Amino acid sequence: FIRRKTMKLLHIGYAARDFDTAIAGFMKMGYTKVHPEPAMQPVKNLKVMKLTQGDVVIEIMSTADAAKESFVTAPLAETSKDLVVFHLAYTVENIEDAVKELTATGDFVLLEPIEIGGGGSCKYCYMQGRIVGLIELLVFLNK
């Protein structure tokens, strides 16, 4: 099993029906934007904004083009709520080893191959846990 110290919670990801309303709601609670403009993820049809308050980081994900399905379409279709916790993201020391260890338990399935993201600054993947739901694993490159 992955030792506790090798996985550290990085952020909580939310799926939002209304991107701007979700961001405004967190900003009213004292959160600030990490970047002035949202990041766009065309392959997943997403716009993404990270906000922070002290050591807490949240990520708001919303459909970029409402006429198309996106990475957050399914979880939002399962509820009438406007904002839902979508995933927890963890940093790991070695993403390949973490994926191997988690899938070996039989409780996790890799949803897509490990990819390079963040403008080449990290490797990441999403895994579906039988009990804990969707998680994202990240390892930052060139620390």
Phi, psi of 88 (to 5 degrees): -115, 135
Q: How far apart are the C-alpha atoms of 135 and 86, rounded to whole Å?
A: 9
pLDDT tens string 5-47:
688 999 999 999 999 999 999 999 999 999 999 999 999 999 9
CA atoms of 52 and 1, how far apart (whole Å): 30
The string of pLDDT tens digits covering residues 103-141 is 999 999 999 999 998 888 999 999 999 999 999 999 999
Residue 3 pLDDT:
56
Distances in Å between the alpha carbon of 117 and those of 40, 41, 42, 96?
12, 10, 13, 15
pLDDT of 32 reads: 98
> CA-to-CA distance for 98 and 92, rounded, in angstroms?
7
Burial label for 79, CB within 10 Å (0-12, 13-18, 19+), is: exposed
Residue 84 has pLDDT above 80, yes or no: yes
- Buried b or exposed e, range 106-122, using 16+ CB within 10 angstroms: eebeeeeebeeeeeeeb
Q: What is the pLDDT of residue 78?
A: 94
Q: In angstroms, rounded to a whole number, what is the distance separating the alpha carbons of residues 26 and 21?
A: 9
* Predicted confidence (pLDDT) per residue in 42-80, tens digit: 999 999 999 999 999 999 999 999 999 999 999 999 999
- Token couple for 27: 């900003």
